[in-house]
Structure 1
Amino acid sequence: MALLPLALTRWFDAKGWQLHPHQQAMLERAEASSTLLIAPTGGGKTLAGFLPTLSELANSPHKGLHTLYISPLKALTADIRRNLRTPIEGAGLPIRVEDRTGDTSYTQRRRQRADPPHILLTTPESLALLLSYEDAPRIFDGLQRVIVDEIHALAESKRGDQLMMCLARLCSLSPGLRRVGLSATVEDPPALAAYLGKDTAILLADPGPDPEISMLETETPPPWAGGGARHAIPEILEQVRRHKTTLIFHNTRAQAEIFFHNLWLQNEDDLPIGIHHGSLSREARERVEAALAEGRLRAVVCTGSLDLGLDWGDVDLVIQVGAPKNVKRLVQRIGRANHRYNAPSKALLVPANRFEVVECLAALQAAKDHDLDGAPRGPGPRDVLCQHILMAACAAPFDADALYAEVTQAGPYAALTRDQFAACLTFCATGGYALRAYDKWQRLLLRNGKWQLRDPRTAAVIRQNLGTIIDTETLKVRLRGRPTPLGEVEEAFAASLTPGDTFLIGGEIVRYEGLNELTVEVTRQPGRQPKVAVFGGTKFATSTLLADRIMALLQQPRWPGLPAHTAHWLALQREVSRLPAPDRLLLESFPQDGREHLCIYGFAGRNAQQTLGLLLTKRMEELGLAPLGFVATDYATLIWGLDPVTDAAPLFDLAALRQGLEGWLQGNAVMKRTFRNVAIIAGLIERTHQGRRKSGRQATFSSDILYDTLRRYDPDHLMLQITREETMRGMVDFGRIEAMLARISGRIDLVRLDGVTPLAAPLFLEPGKIPVQGAGRERLAEAEAQALLRAAGLD
């Protein structure tokens, strides 16, 4: 058992600090091979992970790298370095701590390889790069412990899959390596423990007091549709005045920009308020982070960029604007307030529209019940495995059986078959059947029983393209004459601008002046009504757990937890039609504005409801029902057309829907976009060549040609297999449609009504309506032509 060194004990005593029980338990488990610590935000879990390391290094001098700390955020590594140095320097311990991320200078990175520090703080991408070098065995020789922070966040992305294979490689290089996973929000601890390693033990800290969560009451009711929450700004400003520091979370970057602009216009007291999201420049984000840590800001409007791990001083209130879509994300954000052990976090939910009032209540109740959502973790994606194989070849020739055995030690790849591994290896070696004649994709060869790079010079290109984060096609935004960028916008948005157009970025209204060497040049233009930049932030879909809770809530006889306006709305819906039920599918059919409408309350999340709209309108076209268009939200799809639906059963035939999906996917842009991402991660397409980053258009052009070639000549190519799997899971989300149909087991209620219902009305106000080109449009055109002929007396 590791003991706290005397110098550190004295320093703790001088500070009046005592170890929490879970921190003491981590010291006692110092020799355990793998531990997952689940502790509440503010509970000192990161220090708990480091205590055995500090103890061992203080009691027994160590040469070289002892502990590797891995975080999903670059900013978190810098924050941890500052926090770690405080006790190390305070106790006078001879321990060197450094961080290594994409922001670390080339000189420092070279020095770290030659002379590693005792503790290295890094990211999954930087670790993969380190493991790709020939001297990786020397760098990691003697490594004793690896700490993975915010492991729940990594487990939900390909970055985590890449990291777990890198950990398996580290275990091969450093036998006896001890693993530590740290997390605050976990819906399935055993699954996350298995993800870290099959022998992982779970250590649960005292969860502390429940957070204080409520819905913000506003004088003005929320609008029927939209996501800006402008109606709540007076009450939000009052909350900012009452608290030291408030974080105001939004689900998308564009919504954060709009809200910040509107908030600033009503900020008559000139309260210092900042904005922080991933499309802003690193310099802009760091300025806000520094001001926040120093207590110089009263509020920050932000997105997921401030979700994780950083300790932001005096934050005493979190406001979530818009339904959180995911209970686990809400709990994580709430934990940013009162970031101290055994101090309850305080949070307010602000629904942006009428239906979000119901969703916010469901999320609030789920958080109080400690009911967290999370989809089951599927098998590790094979495009990431292909990249890992190429990375391994960069480091040294490898034996295929040994690498397969190593990879299957990683939790996500524990069930990987030898045939699946062999298919990935063949792709890495030759590019696959249709591409094997091209030298460009002939990258590996078998020599003396081991696989190695065909041309050692390709190692540099492979290293430049390591990583699973796919950049959106963005362009830097820079004030004319200034060297530092304000941030970035999507390429498609920049292409839509003409000189004189204005848009929001970093809370400022700027005027587009022109494009200069792939940089959007702007000038400040206050006082104009701006366009809104199309930022690449994630648009979340409501989780299955939250959707189920919403439907259960709708079945209650009364709703005492809802504001009177929303309760009245639901009661009116029940009176006019009926409310959706968990075990049945409600369809409403009614005429409105000279069109027939069909509303499907599937509660399957935005992506699945969108896909449902595409598939159902295709089925309606086949059945001669002349659909004209549709719009989708998280809870419903509204379709309009020329003919009423009188029999719903043929529309929801699962085999027909699957067949329709297959046909739709074949030439769809979603498949091509997914293929591009898969091909980049697997190494088929280079993002960077000889140090130069390809533009988004260049990468898309290359991937479109490859996609069409493979579809024609090698339809069973590994990249197409992976693309289909990714598409079905991602934007299409067909699995949730299948789950919905399984849940209702054919129980469909088609209710015919005289006009629009209270629950359907907000869908008429939703943006993003999608037209359907087909027989309905032809009938309309023919009717219009006949009317013109009649008017001219030519009928």
Structure 2
Amino acid sequence: MTALPPIIADWFKTRGWALHPHQQDMLDRSAAPATLLIAPTGGGKTLAGFLPSLVELVGGGHAGLHTLYVSPLKALAADIKRNLTTPVQEMGLPIRIEDRTGDTSYTAKRRQRADPPHILLTTPESLALLTSYEDAPRIFAGLQRVIVDEIHALADSKRGDQLMLALSRLDQLAPGLRRVGLSATVDDPQAIAATLARHPDPCPVLQADPGPDPQIEMLVTETRPPWSGGGAQYAIGEVLEQVRAHRTTLIFHNTRAQAEIFFHRLWLENEDDLPIGIHHGSLSRDQRERVEAAMVAGELRAIVCTGSLDLGIDWGDVDLVIQVGAPKNVKRLVQRIGRANHRYNAPSKALLVPANRFEVVECVAALEAARDHDLDGDPRGPGPLDVLCQHILIRACAGPFDADQLFAEVRTVGAYAGLSRAAFDDCLSFCATGGYAFRAYDKWQRLKQTDGLWHLRDPRAAQRIRMNIGTIQDADLLKVRMRRGNRVLGEVEEGFAASLTPGDRFLIGGEVVRYEGLKELTVEVSRTPGREPKVAVFSGTKFATSTQLSSRILRLLNQGSWPNLPGHTAEWLMLQGEVSQIPSADRLLIETFPHEGREHLCLYGFAGQNAHRTLGLILTQRMEAAGLSPLGFVVTDYALLIWGLEPVDDPAALLDPTDMRAGLDQWLQGNAVMKRSFRGVATIAGLIEKNIPGPKKTGRQATFSSDILYDTLAKYDPEHLLMRITRDEALHGLVDFGRIEDMLARIAGIDHRRLSRVSPLAAPLFLEPGKVPIVGEGRERLMAAETERLMAEAGLSAL
């Protein structure tokens, strides 16, 4: 057993602390090439990761960078710096700790390259940038350990692929480098371990005592949840009561827009003037930092937030987490719950607040999954080639390289272990010339080969490549600034800004502001006393219910009775069974019925919004060809509703998998979805530069440029590398065709129910946005009347 040095042991003793077993195990395994630690939130896993480094550095004598810590969030790196610096200073250890993120000043970054600290805390993007410099061999020469925190949040994204490619580069610069992965919520530990390891080497998994199960319940409210919608405004009063009853409450939302709406309504009803803040990725850095500082100081009673606070940041004395809206993903729910009672062996406490009636069912299913430790996650495919293209360009910035050596290096990354030499050479050729369609243009002639080594054709290109490093594809955002005082509030999407006219009011950072005008790509606003704003269209991720959670929902629906559901929801489902039938996993329920002079088809696919939207596009296309005159459709995570002029007598004929795939390919060829996918792929691969020296391009200018490139390739080089990547991305990302195929594969047949009226389960779909476009001052009253009428027709007025 490895003993702590006396100075560290004494520091633990003065606080009455002792090492947890998993912390001792990590100390004992400090020489292992790779280790994945899975420990509960509050279990000291970050300290477990750093202890071997502190022990090795305690005596001084190590020159330069010893340990690199990588996290998904800038705020997490800053938090770790604060929590790690305190004990190091108290022990008087000769250890320099610094962070390096997008928020770090240019001066500090230059100094860190010249004189690296002992421990550097950074993000995948900043690490990739560091590896691109010619002096990278000197910077990383003495590196001993890399700690990847919250590795589950990186393992299933392109950011994680880029990080692992960067680590493969570090292996060449610092032979013998040891890797440590840390996580609290992992659905498949062996898959994460394989991501962390150097292929084909193994990576042992160390699992700590998980501690007590969290205390999770659904919030019981006097007002029944509405039939549709996503804001959960009906529960504002009960949420405020919970805030009053606890020290600090985190109130999570799935989108930034919903967080803004909820915060605004919460503040309007906050008659006690409880200190409440809001935190999400579209707010200004200053505002986020003010909220974070207030949280650490214990000055806030509640924080309305999004995924910006998902991960392991230890903010103040949080004793309750509220998830507003169905969590969509059990792993994300468990991660968020872990923010409460951030202490070892102290159960987290959380409440779920369904936004509408069907989300009641989803919340109950998620509660059961969390209690069963049934975390969801889909297997990753092979490493994306657009990320590999960027990695090749990054490698070229650092100096000449041998293609054979780089190919071997890349194949040590688990996601790229099966990469063929032909695919690698495709990427290298693209980086060198842009590919067949672009090789005549000097702009994309970036690499050349001399004496067997590849290098930049023009060294000045390195600056432009470095300016575009990263895989995060944000929507085009414009800063929002107060006209008086010049204070930046945050950012909104360019498309939203374009829809504003002077005098319009909208929400940002919990404030209602008045739009004054657009000046040099900045939205200028002023304060306004208005209480009914528009809502800014933020770019936060819109989650689809996971495949595993959808399966659990279907099992719950088919129990026959529902003692765990509130009475109003159980009665709704019973009525559905009487009027039609309950959807099941092995049969696809399709209802057709007349309503207000239109024919309707409702398909209960439980495949998620993206898949249902794609299914709606394909089916309406096929209905149009069959002369059924479809007029439109609306989707949720559980169903698709199509309306038109003619009844569908045989819906099964519309669902032939071969014909559907052909219909999808035909639709994709001329659709904006492909162009949107192409723009993201081309930006990551380096064909399109979002950031260039000089004035910033508007989103419309960048879109226009990418559309021209896409059209050129579609016409002259349809099998170009980026076109192949784009097709794959569109199928598995934006249109989610894979989940449609999975749905068709799981069903043994179709149950077509021809009804005389709207079914209970279909009725809420008529209230989804886009189906009942009611506007004006009386919209809430009109919506309530429309709801009553629809529910009465479906036999639901008493529920």
Which of the five TM-score ranges fits, normalised by the shorter chain? over 0.9
2:384 to 378, 381, 395: 381
**Separation (CA, whole Å) in 2 of partners of 1:695 and 1:177:** 43
The residue number in structure 1 matching 2:509 is: 506
1:300 and 2:303 matched? yes
1:470 and 2:479 matched? no
Query: Is contact 2:60–2:95 with CA below 8 Å preserved after alignment?
Result: no
The residue number in structure 1 matching 2:766 is: 764
The residue number in structure 1 matching 2:786 is: none
**Separation (CA, whole Å) in 2 of partners of 1:82 and 1:421:** 42
1:714 to 699, 705, 717: 717
1:231 CA drift (Å): 0.7
1:314 CA drift (Å): 0.7
Query: Is contact 1:36–1:182 with CA below 8 Å preserved after alignment?
Result: yes
1:401 CA drift (Å): 0.7
The residue number in structure 1 matching 2:241 is: 238
**Separation (CA, whole Å) in 1 of partners of 2:546 and 2:598:** 32
TM-score by length of 2: 0.95
**Separation (CA, whole Å) in 1 of partners of 2:647 and 2:103:** 59
In structure 2, the residue corresponding to 1:134 is in which secondary structure?
Answer: coil
**Separation (CA, whole Å) in 1 of partners of 2:252 and 2:106:** 35
- CA deviations on 1:195-220 (whole Å, 9 max, x unpaired) are 11142110000000000000000000
Query: Is contact 2:33–2:178 with CA below 8 Å preserved after alignment?
Result: yes
The residue number in structure 1 matching 2:144 is: 144
In structure 1, the residue corresponding to 2:492 is in which secondary structure?
Answer: strand
1:432 to 431, 435, 458: 435
2:680 to 674, 677, 694: 677
1:606 and 2:609 matched? yes
Aligned ranges for residues 436-585 of structure 1 at < 5 Å? 436-585=439-588
1:292 CA drift (Å): 0.8
1:729 CA drift (Å): 1.1
**Separation (CA, whole Å) in 2 of partners of 1:110 and 1:231:** 52
TM-score by length of 1: 0.96
**Separation (CA, whole Å) in 2 of partners of 1:120 and 1:768:** 49
Query: Is contact 2:474–2:539 with CA below 8 Å preserved after alignment?
Result: no
Give the counterpart letter for 2:44 in structure 1.
G
In structure 2, the residue corresponding to 1:689 is in which secondary structure?
Answer: coil
1:73 and 2:76 matched? no
**Separation (CA, whole Å) in 2 of partners of 1:65 and 1:245:** 38
1:2 CA drift (Å): 5.0
The residue number in structure 2 matching 1:631 is: 634
1:106 CA drift (Å): 1.3
Give the counterpart letter for 2:611 in structure 1.
A
In structure 2, the residue corresponding to 1:393 is in which secondary structure?
Answer: helix
**Separation (CA, whole Å) in 1 of partners of 2:485 and 2:2:** 53
In structure 1, the residue corresponding to 2:278 is in which secondary structure?
Answer: strand
Flag structure 2 segments of 5+ consecutive residues without an equivalent: 774-799
1:557 CA drift (Å): 1.6
1:658 and 2:635 matched? no
The residue number in structure 2 matching 1:264 is: 267
In structure 1, the residue corresponding to 2:35 is in which secondary structure?
Answer: strand
**Separation (CA, whole Å) in 1 of partners of 2:564 and 2:772:** 35
Query: Is contact 1:3–1:55 with CA below 8 Å preserved after alignment?
Result: no
The residue number in structure 1 matching 2:180 is: 180
**Separation (CA, whole Å) in 1 of partners of 2:570 and 2:356:** 14
1:691 CA drift (Å): 5.6
**Separation (CA, whole Å) in 1 of partners of 2:321 and 2:84:** 26
Q: Which moved more, 1:703-712 or 1:682-691?
A: 682-691
Describe the shift of the 1:142–1:3 C-alpha distance in structure 2 as closer, same or farther (beyond 3 A).
Answer: farther
Query: Is contact 2:60–2:94 with CA below 8 Å preserved after alignment?
Result: no
**Separation (CA, whole Å) in 1 of partners of 2:202 and 2:702:** 42
The residue number in structure 2 matching 1:88 is: 88
**Separation (CA, whole Å) in 1 of partners of 2:713 and 2:550:** 39
In structure 1, the residue corresponding to 2:712 is in which secondary structure?
Answer: helix
The residue number in structure 2 matching 1:777 is: none
**Separation (CA, whole Å) in 2 of partners of 1:351 and 1:44:** 32
Q: Which moved more, 1:455-464 or 1:526-535?
A: 526-535
1:589 CA drift (Å): 0.7
- CA deviations on 1:747-771 (whole Å, 9 max, x unpaired) are 0000011100000000000013499
Query: Is contact 1:431–1:442 with CA below 8 Å preserved after alignment?
Result: yes
The residue number in structure 1 matching 2:193 is: 193
1:111 CA drift (Å): 1.1
Query: Is contact 2:401–2:454 with CA below 8 Å preserved after alignment?
Result: yes
In structure 2, the residue corresponding to 1:529 is in which secondary structure?
Answer: coil
In structure 2, the residue corresponding to 1:315 is in which secondary structure?
Answer: coil
Give the counterpart letter for 2:140 in structure 1.
F
Query: Is contact 1:508–1:526 with CA below 8 Å preserved after alignment?
Result: no
Query: Is contact 1:629–1:770 with CA below 8 Å preserved after alignment?
Result: no
**Separation (CA, whole Å) in 2 of partners of 1:769 and 1:134:** 57
The residue number in structure 2 matching 1:281 is: 284
Aligned ranges for residues 319-398 of structure 1 at < 5 Å? 319-398=322-401
1:104 CA drift (Å): 1.2
**Separation (CA, whole Å) in 1 of partners of 2:559 and 2:652:** 28
In structure 2, the residue corresponding to 1:688 is in which secondary structure?
Answer: coil
**Separation (CA, whole Å) in 2 of partners of 1:497 and 1:690:** 29
Give the counterpart letter for 2:153 in structure 1.
A
Across the two proteins, how many residue pairs are aligned to each other? 770
Q: Which moved more, 1:597-606 or 1:75-84?
A: 75-84
Aligned ranges for residues 74-223 of structure 1 at < 5 Å? 74-197=74-197, 198-223=201-226
In structure 2, the residue corresponding to 1:391 is in which secondary structure?
Answer: helix
In structure 1, the residue corresponding to 2:319 is in which secondary structure?
Answer: strand
1:3 CA drift (Å): 3.5
In structure 2, the residue corresponding to 1:374 is in which secondary structure?
Answer: coil
1:484 CA drift (Å): 2.5
1:615 CA drift (Å): 0.6
1:693 CA drift (Å): 3.5
1:257 CA drift (Å): 0.6
1:694 CA drift (Å): 2.7
**Separation (CA, whole Å) in 2 of partners of 1:470 and 1:638:** 31
The residue number in structure 2 matching 1:224 is: 227
Runs (4+) of structure 1 exceeding 4 A deviation are none
- CA deviations on 1:450-469 (whole Å, 9 max, x unpaired) are 11111111111111111111
1:91 CA drift (Å): 1.2
**Separation (CA, whole Å) in 2 of partners of 1:173 and 1:166:** 11
Query: Is contact 2:74–2:101 with CA below 8 Å preserved after alignment?
Result: yes
**Separation (CA, whole Å) in 2 of partners of 1:4 and 1:90:** 16
Aligned ranges for residues 704-783 of structure 1 at < 5 Å? 704-745=707-748, 747-769=749-771
Give the counterpart letter for 2:291 in structure 1.
V
1:483 CA drift (Å): 2.6
Give the counterpart letter for 1:768 in structure 2.
G
Give the counterpart letter for 2:726 in structure 1.
T
Query: Is contact 2:140–2:170 with CA below 8 Å preserved after alignment?
Result: yes
Query: Is contact 1:630–1:770 with CA below 8 Å preserved after alignment?
Result: no
Query: Is contact 2:484–2:526 with CA below 8 Å preserved after alignment?
Result: no
In structure 1, the residue corresponding to 2:406 is in which secondary structure?
Answer: helix
Query: Is contact 1:543–1:605 with CA below 8 Å preserved after alignment?
Result: yes
Aligned-pair Cα RMSD in Å: 1.1
**Separation (CA, whole Å) in 1 of partners of 2:618 and 2:241:** 47
